[in-house]
Structure formats: structure tokens, C-alpha cells
Amino acid sequence: MSARTLRRWIVLGQDGRHVTLGRAAPPSAEEIAAASDALNRQGLAGWIATLDGDYWGRGRVTLAPVQTIGAGATLDWAAAVAAFDQARQRARRAA
């Protein structure tokens, strides 16, 4: 399987923080509800998104929003993606 065909489902916060929900298959309704509740309890919002590409590789990855979750808030997808890219670069350097 090439890096371009790797897919994972993530929760992406407005500040770029992210966590993987699963790979290849979409998360269940229960997993989405649990992630949404966790963000909501913290007064945060974000997205369920797909991440295509090799997270740990040097190449770019592609993010696509699937569903907004968490507390009601005004979200900025472009700012979240930029923050994600910075967080990913820090994680790759630390690994």
C-alpha cells in the first residue's frame, strides 16, 4: 500500500491538536458521539476529518473535514489545518 492510499480518521481541534480514531474504516456513531461529548465537556469544538497520506513521512498529507463536533463555536478550517501542520512537524522532529 502506498503512502497516498493510507487513510486514517482523526478528531482535529481548532488549535491543531488531533487524535486518531481509526484507520481505513470510518468511526462508528458511538465513537463520534464520545469524541463530541469529550470536546463539549471542555467547551471545545472541532471536526471528524480524514487524513490521507503518511503521517510520519516527509510528504504532505491531505485533510478533509467530514463532520463538525463538540461545543457550538465558530471554527476556521484553514487555521486548524495550519496549526495541525505545525503540530505534525513538531511530532516528527521529536520522534
Sequence ranges of the domains in the chain: 3-94
Q: Write out pLDDT tens, residues 36-85.
A: 999 999 999 999 999 999 999 988 999 999 999 998 778 899 999 999 99
In three-state secondary structure terms, 69 is: strand
Where does residue 55 fall: left (phi above 0), alpha (psi -120 to 50 degrees), or beta otherwise?
Answer: alpha
Mean pLDDT value of segment 4-21? 90
Q: Is the pLDDT of residue 3 over 70?
A: no
Q: Find, among 48, 22, 21, 54, the residue nearest to 36 by Cα.
A: 48
Q: Please indicate whether residue 22 or residue 53 has the higher confidence score (pLDDT).
A: 53
Is residue 1 very low, low, confident or very high in pLDDT (cuts 50, 70, 90)? very low
Tell me what pLDDT residue 4 has. Answer: 54
Contact 45, 70 (CB under 8 A): yes
Tell me what pLDDT residue 92 has. Answer: 92
92 to 16, 59, 89: CA distances (angstroms): 15, 12, 5
- Predicted TM-score (pTM) above 0.85: yes
Instruction: Give me the sign of the Cα torsion angle 72, 38, 33, 46.
Output: positive
Tell me what pLDDT residue 41 has. Answer: 93
